[in-house]
Amino acid sequence: MHTHIIPKKLPNWTEKFGYGKFIYLEENEDKSANMMQGGQFFRRILENCWDEDLRINEYQQFDTQVQVVCTIPVLFSYWAKPQDGLEVSQFLNDHISDLVARYPKNYIGLATIPMQDTELAIQELERAKKNGHVGIQIGSNINDENLSEERFFPIFEACERLGMAVMIHPWQMMGFDSMKKYWLPWLVGMPAETSRAACSLIFGGVLERLPNLRVCFSHAGGSFLPTLGRIEHGFNCRPDLVAIDNPVNPREYVGKFWVDSITHDIDALEYILKMQGSKKVCLGSDYPFPLGDLEIGKFITDAKLSPQVVEDIFCNSTLEWLDLKKEMFL
Ligand SMILES: [Zn+2]
């Protein structure tokens, strides 16, 4: 339920809009491509980032038929002017809805929406739903604002009303500039970002006010579940700081949201399963990126989990999170 895809051809938005560092792909001779951010090299990516048949074949090696696809967070472009952010979102969403229409048994789509503008975000959310998306992927912060900010609430409310699932993905990691060495933004910043998002949605009362909102946190919830004892203790010992917008203990929400299985560690996965229950842990891969679980689900198959738990992780949890029926893919 957590894979990233990009269209092979992207407009040169930096040129078109006349500002900013929009992502643009430059093809290499070896079939890879360089993601350029403005004019600067960002990352080299391989064909499996966009080649739909290759992706299906690579997945089949791990007996996996269906991929939930969403964009790569660096394309969120929340910093852009709202109308331009909407145009970027529409381009990316149309690419995915076309893909899902052509391969309904292999791909499920999550849209991106311009979170920098509440009205346009809801407009694109509604359009995405009409075009076959079953949810959205959003960042762990929006231009450094927490997801608890009131101006985001109508977006979450619209997701609940429309039955659109929400996947929270870490991006624009806190401390990025001060810890670039050793890949620390990815190793330290990302799990912290996801916990930041979970704490914001809980302490801000978003999950309390929208009990039917279906949220899934990336990377097994980042550092949220492993540090829940500390978070709960903080809630109890300094309610004047923590419980100001929602009086409910954060532990009450465990098992009400979903997380993916990307832990790379069976002990960590067992802990997550114990906390969440197997119906709330979904098979995620982060394919096709190197930090992902690229031998998709193998460490889960190799572990001594019950067949029911494995089946929940491999399909039931994702189907419930997205409100889809298994028969659609048989
Ligand atoms: Zn990811």
Q: Which domains does the chain have, with CATH numbers?
A: 50-324 (3.20.20.140)
Structure tokens belonging to residue 93: 């969403």
For residue 75, the CA-to-ligand 1 centroid distance in Å is 12
The pLDDT, as a whole number, for residue 38 is: 83
* pLDDT beyond 90 at 39: no
For residue 240, the CA-to-ligand 1 centroid distance in Å is 35
For residue 72, the CA-to-ligand 1 centroid distance in Å is 7
Question: Please, which pLDDT band fits residue 229 given cuts at 50, 70 and 90?
Answer: very high
For residue 221, the CA-to-ligand 1 centroid distance in Å is 12
Residue 32, helix vs strand vs coil: coil
For residue 120, the CA-to-ligand 1 centroid distance in Å is 24
For residue 239, the CA-to-ligand 1 centroid distance in Å is 33
Task: Tell me the average pLDDT across 188-207.
Answer: 98
The strand pair at 23-27 and 33-37 is best described as antiparallel
> What is the spatial distance between Cα 108 and Cα 106, in angstroms, rounded to a whole number?
7
Taking all residues of the chain, what is their mean pLDDT, rounded to a whole number? 97
For residue 292, the CA-to-ligand 1 centroid distance in Å is 8
Q: Read off the pLDDT of residues 82-106 as tens digits, 9 standing for 90 and up.
A: 999 999 999 999 999 999 999 999 9
For residue 170, the CA-to-ligand 1 centroid distance in Å is 8
For residue 86, the CA-to-ligand 1 centroid distance in Å is 22
In the structure, ligand 1 is a single-atom ion and the residues with CB under 5 Å from it are 286
Does the N-terminal peptide bond of residue 288 adopt cis geometry, omega within 30 degrees of 0?
A: yes
For residue 69, the CA-to-ligand 1 centroid distance in Å is 10
Give the long-range contacts of residues 42-46, CB within 8 A, separation 24 or more.
42/74, 45/6, 45/288, 46/288
One-letter amino acid at 42 equals F
